[in-house]
Amino acid sequence: MADAVQNLFQVTVKEFGTVDILVNNAGICPFVEWFDLTEEIWDQVHHTNLKGTFLCSQAASRIMRDHGHGGRIISVSSISALVGGSFQTAYTPTKAGVRSLMQSLAIVLGPYGITCNSILPGAILTDINRDHYQDDQIVARDTQRIPVGRLGNPTDIAGVAAFLASEDAAYVNGADILVDGGLFVNLQ
In the annotation, is 95 catalytic?
Answer: yes
pLDDT category at 170 given cuts 50, 70, 90 is very high
Sketch out the chain's domains with CATH numbers: 2-186 (3.40.50.720)
Identify the burial level of 70 via C-beta atoms within 10 angstroms of its C-beta, where 0-12 means exposed, 13-18 middle and 19 or more buried: middle
pLDDT category at 48 given cuts 50, 70, 90 is very high
| Given 61, 75, 91, 118, the catalytic residue | 91
| Given 57, 61, 78, 118, the catalytic residue | 78
As a whole-number percent, the residues of the chain with pLDDT over 70 amount to 100
In the annotation, is 51 catalytic?
Answer: no
In the annotation, is 78 catalytic?
Answer: yes
Evaluate the CA torsion angle 110, 50, 184, 126 in order and state its sign: positive
pLDDT category at 22 given cuts 50, 70, 90 is very high
| Given 95, 100, 112, 133, the catalytic residue | 95
DSSP string, 46-58: HIIIIIHHHHHHH
pLDDT category at 10 given cuts 50, 70, 90 is very high
